[in-house]
Copies of this chain bind each other. A is one copy, B any other.
Amino acid sequence: MRYALLVLAPPQATAVHRAAIGLCEAALDAGHALPRVFFSDAGTQVALDTAVPPGDEPSPREHWQALARQHGVELVACIGSAVRHGVLDSDEAARFERPAATLAEGFVLGGLGLLVEATAAADRALTFGGGAP
């Protein structure tokens, strides 16, 4: 089957991100397709490159990046939400005259059409929200 995910929880809701990442890994291991994960609202903060997770634990961001690297999953942060939350690629950083891009490697910014496209082609659409502050 083909899966599409929508992630709304901020990265501080580590349990929600772990649950979503675990599901993605299980789905891919089982041979399902999972071409794209779409992050919206506070979920886009997981793509903020300047956030430094505490201690030695890998952060949700690093887990998502590993998933993208190993399985080619496209990680799209909703552009509207992302800029409100301070997540800028180099184009947006230039447009809003900020000194540097803050979008973490492995993520791209994109419009809501990419969410629509993902769920329209999917057999399963799943939302991950809640948690935090």
Contact = CB atoms under 8 A, between A and B. Distances in A.
Contact of A83 (B49, B52, B96): B52
A106 interface: no
A87 B48 CA distance: 10
Interface stretch (A27-35, A97-105, A110-118): A97-105
A72 to B, nearest CB: 26
State the copy count for this chain: 2
Interface residues of A: mostly helix, strand, loop or mixed? Answer: loop
B12 A50 contact: no
A92 B51 CA distance: 11
Nearest to A99: B100
Contact of A49 (B51, B54, B84, B98): B98
A18 interface: no
B132 A48 contact: no
Contacts of A86: 45, 48-52, 86, 102
A89 to B, nearest CB: 11
